[in-house]
Chain A
Amino acid sequence: MSENNSNTEKTASVSILRKRWKKFKTIKRGYYSFLLILFLYILSFLLPLFIGRDALIVKYNGEYSFPIFKYYSAESFGQELQGEANYRLLKKQYQEEDKGNWVLLPLYPFGPNENLLDEMGGNPPHPPSAQHWCGTDDRGRDVFARLAHGFNIGLSFSIIVTLLTYVIGIAIGAILGFYGGKIDIFGLRLIEIWGTLPFLFVIIIISSIIQPNFLLLIFILTLFGWIGIVYYIRGEFYREKARDYVSAAVSMGAKNSKIIFSHILPNSLTPVISFAPFAIVANIFSLVSLDFLGFGLPPPTPSWGQLMQQGLSNIDNWWLIVTPLVAMFFTLLTIVFIGEAIREAFDPKIYSRLR
């Protein structure tokens, strides 16, 4: 009986998701933004294949090596350099020698943390050129490579923070909303205190003591990010709790955990899900702001905020501000479009047009 019951419920919930997915697909702007960002994000995990300093394949004296996976010294390829091989120079060298050796470089053969001063000469930052699409920064590093790697880092960062804050926020919101009473009153006070703490203050204080890394920053942002979701979920639980289907579940003797997870939760997720893309945008904002203020990811991590900070202190070098801004702008805009489409797809109300 109960199995049968949960089966019908599951099919029902799948079909409503499918309906929403169908509606989402009809909102072209959001749907294509979603495909685009998904494609770029997956691609960005393979970035070293496209943008990076290490050659993909080197053929030297009849032997193939794959420097992208392994460190090779310059000598091992017959290059007269100290330390690691420089594959761009190696390619030129092989072409001049014409002995059947060759190097397959990534499409854009510059790494994000690679100092190019030796090869380029002059004073950094260099303006954009055919070779360096977005110029170099004040340490002679290629801006385009840094932007591309920064995309992966920034988006990963904010997706992880969003997921973690959602899990924590939903759990706490569900407990407060479901049990209510004293737990709710006491919990809300604590949350109000926690939520009013100026979190930028705390991050700056912590960052000025310990050099934050990726994980620590995720931890701190998660610590302060879950509060908004609690209020949403708590409100939804309060509303859903009073519905007939919950009373029915209670009278059938369902356990609290069962009621929370399989009855109320699926019905109360709508507002927070449609809010998720905007949360991702907000978290990218936070990371960029912290990097801009110099309290974000440790150098030499490629970051958009840090580039903009450089740009602001060298206001003549416009590309240091314009390029990260354009990158950020397109990323955030596509996510905002997705968010708008999700919100529309999840919204059961069909607004009647005036007359």
Chain B
Amino acid sequence: MTSYFIRRFLLIIPTFFGITLITFLILQIVPGGPLEMEIMKIRMGGNKGGTESGSGGNSTQNIPQSAVEELTKFYGFDKPIQERYVIWVTNLLKLDLGKSYVYAEPVSDVIVSRFPVSIYFGLIGFILTYLICVPLGVYKAVKNGSTFDFISSALVFIGYAIPGFAFGALMLVLLGGGSFFDVFPLGGFRSSDFESLSFFGKIADQINHTILPVVSYLIGSFATLTILTKNSVIENLSQDYIRTAFSKGLSEKRVIFGHALRNSLIPISTGLGHAISLVLAGSVLIEKVFNINGIGLLSFDSIVQRDYPVVMGILVISTLLLLVGNIISDIIYALVDPRIRFK
């Protein structure tokens, strides 16, 4: 099985280069790239500058050829595309993701500066989901068909039918001080006067800014995990070994927690491998609704502004995390379930 996982790790390499190559090509080939944007900016700026200084009198506002060439060189567009990719990969292997066009800072710094927000919301969401869904799923399985099961199922499915960002927007309207109640702030990660607050004031402020986004993150993921847990427990409860346990005279508690639960948690544990992706957690939609400067908004903005080094940087990190997360999930799967044999 070790050789299987070594092979899986080696397979990351072609997949990784395939993904980066395709994205790189798409980014570089499509029109309206950073070069065109910069030229357009200069043209507009030049227009303004021209009227102020009164120089030239050239109304067409053509940029001198030399400047265009210089810009082309700055963005590296003077070289053929395959050479650009090779340069990018060589730099990547030296752990250099390049410099952001927009922020004029190394890409890695730009991305790392968003990590705290992502980890904060990601971790809280992750822990809360597992903390609530697993016990709820187990309880629903044991009480399958009861009123509680029916009502909680309905609630869970209602949550599933509302996109998280839409729910967040609704909460802002209701509780954000727009038309109804003014309970929570309109968004942001912290208040602007956060630094001047007392210690408890800081905590209160942070919690106040956390509740609505976290609820929006949770609302969709509740259904999947709860129902998965419930079905898994029910399936195990109908197995022969449970009947054996009952016929041995064990108590219901013992059977559920000692026998059924351990096997039921196997499919749930596999999701844990993707916990490493938490550093990049963050949905564009929810961050946009709550005006949180996280990874989601960063990737969205960098695409819109054609900040290609940042786009590629986020892609590199998220792809690696995803691919490694897949393998970790499988390793966990094999560890918790001795029946699973990969080959």
Query: Contact between A325 and B19 (Cβ–Cβ < 8 Å)?
Result: no
Q: Contact mask B297-312 → A, CB, 8 Å, 1/0?
A: 0011001100000010
- Residue with the greatest number of chain B CB neighbours at <10 A, chosen from A196, A288, A318: A196
Query: Contact between A322 and B173 (Cβ–Cβ < 8 Å)?
Result: yes
Query: Contact between B166 and A293 (Cβ–Cβ < 8 Å)?
Result: no
Closest-CB distance, B284 to chain A (whole angstroms): 7
Q: Contact mask A326-355 → B, CB, 8 Å, 1/0?
A: 001100110111001000000001011111
Contact among B144, B303, B323 with A353 in the assembled complex (CB-CB below 8 Å):
B144
Query: Contact between B169 and A209 (Cβ–Cβ < 8 Å)?
Result: no
In the assembled complex, the Cα of A355 lies from the Cα of B235 at a distance in Å of 14
Interface of chain B residues 184 through 224 with chain A (CB within 8 A): 186
A249 interface hit (Cβ, 8 Å):
no
Query: Contact between B163 and A328 (Cβ–Cβ < 8 Å)?
Result: yes
Query: Contact between A205 and B27 (Cβ–Cβ < 8 Å)?
Result: yes
Query: Contact between A325 and B169 (Cβ–Cβ < 8 Å)?
Result: yes
Query: Contact between A333 and B311 (Cβ–Cβ < 8 Å)?
Result: no
B315 interface hit (Cβ, 8 Å):
yes
A70 interface hit (Cβ, 8 Å):
no
Closest-CB distance, A203 to chain B (whole angstroms): 10
Query: Contact between B32 and A197 (Cβ–Cβ < 8 Å)?
Result: no
Main secondary structure of the interface of B (DSSP, over half): helix
A254 interface hit (Cβ, 8 Å):
no
Query: Contact between A196 and B173 (Cβ–Cβ < 8 Å)?
Result: no
Contact among B166, B176, B237, B322 with A315 in the assembled complex (CB-CB below 8 Å):
B176
Closest-CB distance, A154 to chain B (whole angstroms): 13
Q: Contact mask B31-49 → A, CB, 8 Å, 1/0?
A: 1100000000000000000
A289 interface hit (Cβ, 8 Å):
yes
Interface of chain B residues 10 through 46 with chain A (CB within 8 A): 11, 14-15, 18-19, 22-23, 26-27, 30-32
Q: Which residues of A contact B173 (CB under 8 A)?
A: 311, 315, 318, 321-322
Query: Contact between B234 and A288 (Cβ–Cβ < 8 Å)?
Result: no
Q: Which residues of A contact B176 (CB under 8 A)?
A: 315
Main secondary structure of the interface of A (DSSP, over half): helix
Closest to A204 in B: B303
Q: Which residues of A contact B87 (CB under 8 A)?
A: none
Query: Contact between B169 and A321 (Cβ–Cβ < 8 Å)?
Result: yes
Would A197 and B15 be within 8 Å (CB), given that A285-B163, A311-B169, A354-B237 are in contact? Answer: no
Query: Contact between B169 and A196 (Cβ–Cβ < 8 Å)?
Result: no
Q: Which residues of A contact B27 (CB under 8 A)?
A: 205
Query: Contact between B23 and A197 (Cβ–Cβ < 8 Å)?
Result: yes
Query: Contact between B15 and A329 (Cβ–Cβ < 8 Å)?
Result: no
Contact among B170, B186, B299 with A325 in the assembled complex (CB-CB below 8 Å):
B170
Query: Contact between B15 and A193 (Cβ–Cβ < 8 Å)?
Result: yes
In the assembled complex, the Cα of A285 lies from the Cα of B142 at a distance in Å of 33
Query: Contact between B157 and A337 (Cβ–Cβ < 8 Å)?
Result: yes
In the assembled complex, the Cα of A315 lies from the Cα of B252 at a distance in Å of 52
Q: Which residues of A contact B315 (CB under 8 A)?
A: 198, 201
Query: Contact between A292 and B311 (Cβ–Cβ < 8 Å)?
Result: no
Contact among A206, A312, A337 with B172 in the assembled complex (CB-CB below 8 Å):
A312
Q: Contact mask B128-152 → A, CB, 8 Å, 1/0?
A: 0000000000000010110000000
Closest-CB distance, A311 to chain B (whole angstroms): 7
B180 interface hit (Cβ, 8 Å):
yes
Q: Which residues of A contact B145 (CB under 8 A)?
A: 353
Query: Contact between B22 and A328 (Cβ–Cβ < 8 Å)?
Result: no
Closest-CB distance, B293 to chain A (whole angstroms): 17
Would A196 and B15 be within 8 Å (CB), given that A293-B300, A311-B173, A318-B179 are in contact? Answer: yes
Q: Contact mask B218-256 → A, CB, 8 Å, 1/0?
A: 000000000000000011011000000010000010000
Closest-CB distance, B300 to chain A (whole angstroms): 7
Closest to A304 in B: B166
A221 interface hit (Cβ, 8 Å):
no
Query: Contact between B18 and A318 (Cβ–Cβ < 8 Å)?
Result: no
Query: Contact between A198 and B300 (Cβ–Cβ < 8 Å)?
Result: no
B288 interface hit (Cβ, 8 Å):
yes
A244 interface hit (Cβ, 8 Å):
no
What are 10 of the A-B contact pairs (CB < 8 Å)?
Answer: A201-B299, A205-B26, A205-B303, A281-B161, A318-B174, A321-B170, A324-B166, A325-B167, A335-B161, A336-B160
17 A-B pairs besides A189-B15, A329-B161 with CB distance below 8 A are A189-B11, A196-B319, A197-B22, A197-B23, A201-B311, A205-B27, A293-B300, A311-B173, A315-B176, A325-B162, A325-B167, A328-B161, A329-B158, A332-B161, A337-B157, A351-B234, A354-B252
Interfacial residues, chain A to chain B (CB-CB below 8 A): 189-190, 192-193, 196-198, 200-202, 204-206, 208-209, 281, 285, 288-289, 292-293, 308, 311-312, 315-318, 321-322, 324-325, 328-329, 332-333, 335-337, 340, 349, 351-355
